[in-house]
Structure 1
Amino acid sequence: MRLYRRLALGALLLTFVVVVFGAYVRLADAGLGCPDWPGCYGKLTPAHAADVIRDVHAAEPDGPVSLPKAWKEMIHRYLAASLGLLIIALAVLGWRLRDNPRAAPAVALALVGVVIFQGLLGKWTVTLLLKPAIVTAHLLGGLTTLALLAWLALRASGAVQPMTSLSHAGRSTRRLQLGARLAFVLLIAQIALGGWTSTNYAALACTDFPTCHGSFAPDADYANAFHVVRELGMTADGELLSNAALTAIHWSHRIGALVAGGALLLLGGALCRRRATLDVGVALLAALALQVGLGVANVLLSLPLPLAAAHNAGAALLVFVMVWVNFRLGAPRALPSVAPQRRAAPPLTMAIEEGRS
């Protein structure tokens, strides 16, 4: 079981790195650094395809292809492939430990399916030229992977504190559990809006705060902004996406932040009022404050790359904390530890021992 716990924790940490580095690759305009998949111009590494990459870059210096961008894209793929192998190993080991209540082999097997689909989304991200719907789905797939691994790691650790104070609270406890689930749904919706903002390059559509273009009701084109099946930077009719549409995307993300942030703030306050959930409540409020601060700073400082990548890391951190919150509220008692059982002695040995006694 110790190896299983370490694999789950290692996969969780690697997923966090993959999600954040993937955001960095996208924000650095390196998503098409290698325009084919899974290799780079048919080669294993950009070093093997260096001559082709230099020729393409020389023909289009301001294009998406260059040797540094190719390395960023391929490093992300190498990390994602390593994560896939780690999750497969976790699923195999989880199945072997299926009698252990902390293993949850079904979730580990489900993770294999999620990672396979995530790999396909990564392929389509490149081959379909960064379509916003595919890129946003790829982000959500990465966070789904992180959430499932967080749940597995928490369950495997067995570090769930007894919730006696909550288990006897009755109706108030059920309301808190329902509130935590609702807040998690709102968080995922807000992250989807954030992904849609980033993949449509609408993060700087509003450069002032808290208003947008000096107004709390800016001119916005919501119809074209949220038309899912379209090319990057284009409407469904093939026309250039207007500034009003980009404003609609950005402003919707801000309104979503107000709604989801308010729900998380209320939840964090409720958790902090109970001794048994004080730690997760403080963690939630701290992660929320960090994420709000990063979001505001990105607007006021015109989206510097480190801060933009940190904002994605903050979203991943909030997902982990919300999994922790819901896991704690959904587990009224610590999972039983499984101690190794002493093997029964053979009948002949038992008979000899009885004769001696």
Structure 2
Amino acid sequence: MANNLPLKLATLAFFLACEVVLMGGFTRITDSGLGCPDWPGCFGSMVMTTDTETITHLQERYPEIHVAVHKGWIEMIHRYIAGGLGLLILALAFVGYREKEKTANYPYLLSLVVLGLVIVQGAFGAFTVTLKLLPNIVTLHLMGGLIIVSTLMYLRHRLKRLALGDSSLVRMRTPVMIGVGLLFAQIILGGWVSTNYAGWACPGILSCAPGGAEVNYDFQSGFHLFPEVGPNYEGGQLEHGARAAIQMVHRAGALVVTVYWLGLLWSLVKQGVLASRKAMHFVGLLAAQIGFGYANVVYAVPDSLAFIHHALGVLMLLYAWSIAYATAVEYEEVSYGSVKHA
């Protein structure tokens, strides 16, 4: 591929998408999701007001939320970055349309998929606000962000290979893809913990009550995927038993992910398809994530530790994808009786 513009756009879009996901987590963790209760503006304007009298008037008009300048700005900055990402992906699709006739196996349809995902993601961004942080919508919004980041990473991988003159396709190894799927599900489960304010529900490592007191875990309420529309979900609406159930399932998921990935990395290194240094990098990220998860339990989920935990989860997902690409194999297809690279 002679034109490197698609690769440059995809690289920029990928990093910007990562920033959107991280900023979205920061918005959620700082309780800024309703910093602007309307969409796409903020109290009818595209910038958050700093006028004291106006803030007082808005607080009287919106008594169900805490009107704060810093929360409004956090939410709007998140929207500004997301808007910039949308424009960048639109440009990527346009450039791809012009490039697809010139370059064999150019992933134009993938560019359109990303554009469609961004449009849907924007709609969920609006629903997140207008439905007052409804947990299933907030979680789906996080899922959409991670899917966009993952798809852009794959698109960038394809374009990078084309830039190097390699138009062949690759197949990811099934065990690695299972590992990526488990990690993805665990991050989504973490989002469910966060949006239901269940992070503080279990102050002990093995128990959800101090002194070993009995807890009535309510899994049915904790994982009711269609909560009532209407209430303000900032601060959460679930009882302690439901939040504790969510938290314990998240911890069980962490154990499953840890065991699976340690076994997977050992197997890949033993087979000689993955460098031991790359495997150890992932193990380091995994250890750090477990450590910060423990710290969040001990210190009752302060914003700083919660954000680091969120950021490490995203970084682990990206590194898991990089392992998937590093261990991928080219596959061949049969055409007209001869075998050739796809």
Q: CA deviation at 1:322?
A: 2.0
The reply on whether 1:150 has 2:150 as its aligned counterpart is: no
Distance 1:7 1:79 in 2: 15
Q: Which residue in the other structure is 1:22 paired with? A: 24
Paired letter, 1:56: L
Paired letter, 2:322: W
The reply on whether 1:225 has 2:222 as its aligned counterpart is: yes
Q: CA deviation at 1:191?
A: 1.4
Contact 1:181 / 1:326 at 8 angstroms: preserved in 2? yes
Q: CA deviation at 1:51?
A: 4.9
Give CA-to-partner distance per residue, 1:157-192, whole Å, 9 cap, x none. 23999xxxxx9xxxxxx9x92211111221122112
Structure 2 residue corresponding to 1:185, chosen from 160, 181, 184: 181
Q: 1:323 to 1:220 in 2, by over 3 A?
A: same
Q: 1:215 to 1:45 in 2, by over 3 A?
A: same
Give CA-to-partner distance per residue, 1:127-167, whole Å, 9 cap, x none. 00000000000001000011001111222223999xxxxx9
Unaligned ranges ≥5, structure 2: 165-169, 332-342
Structure 2 residue corresponding to 1:121, chosen from 120, 124, 127: 124
Q: Which residue in the other structure is 2:292 paired with? A: 294
After superposing the two structures, state which structure 1 stretch, 89-98 or 52-61, moved more: 52-61
Q: Which residue in the other structure is 1:258 paired with? A: 255
- Counterparts of residues 38-117 of structure 1 (less than 5 Å): 38-47=40-49, 51-57=53-59, 63-98=65-100, 99-101=102-104, 103-117=106-120
Give CA-to-partner distance per residue, 1:14-42, whole Å, 9 cap, x none. 11111111111111111001100000111
Aligned length: 317
Q: 1:109 to 1:280 in 2, by over 3 A?
A: farther
Distance 1:144 1:48 in 2: 35
Contact 1:190 / 1:256 at 8 angstroms: preserved in 2? yes
Q: 1:101 to 1:184 in 2, by over 3 A?
A: farther
Contact 1:291 / 1:315 at 8 angstroms: preserved in 2? yes
Structure 1 residue corresponding to 2:135, chosen from 121, 132, 146: 132
Q: 1:282 to 1:97 in 2, by over 3 A?
A: farther
Q: 1:284 to 1:113 in 2, by over 3 A?
A: same
Distance 2:53 2:38 in 1: 16
Paired letter, 2:29: L
Contact 2:50 / 2:69 at 8 angstroms: preserved in 1? no
Paired letter, 1:178: T
Structure index of larger Rg: 1
- Counterparts of residues 165-204 of structure 1 (less than 5 Å): 177-204=173-200
Distance 2:265 2:304 in 1: 28
After superposing the two structures, state which structure 1 stretch, 63-72 or 196-205, moved more: 63-72
Distance 1:60 1:118 in 2: 26
Give CA-to-partner distance per residue, 1:101-121, whole Å, 9 cap, x none. 574111111000100000000
* Alpha-carbon RMSD: 2.9
Identity of aligned residues (%): 37
Q: 1:158 to 1:49 in 2, by over 3 A?
A: farther
Q: CA deviation at 1:303?
A: 1.1
Distance 1:50 1:101 in 2: 59
Q: CA deviation at 1:88?
A: 1.0
Contact 2:23 / 2:78 at 8 angstroms: preserved in 1? yes
Structure 2 residue corresponding to 1:33, chosen from 35, 58, 61: 35
Distance 1:160 1:180 in 2: 26
Q: 1:60 to 1:131 in 2, by over 3 A?
A: closer
TM-score normalised per structure 2 = 0.84
Distance 1:47 1:12 in 2: 31
Unaligned ranges ≥5, structure 1: 162-166, 168-173, 334-357
Secondary structure of the 2:274 match is: helix
Q: 1:322 to 1:205 in 2, by over 3 A?
A: same
Q: CA deviation at 1:329?
A: 3.0
Paired letter, 2:313: A
Distance 1:109 1:130 in 2: 29
Q: CA deviation at 1:229?
A: 1.1
Secondary structure of the 1:273 match is: helix
Q: 1:19 to 1:44 in 2, by over 3 A?
A: same
Paired letter, 1:286: G
Distance 2:104 2:32 in 1: 43
Distance 1:282 1:260 in 2: 16
Distance 1:83 1:206 in 2: 37
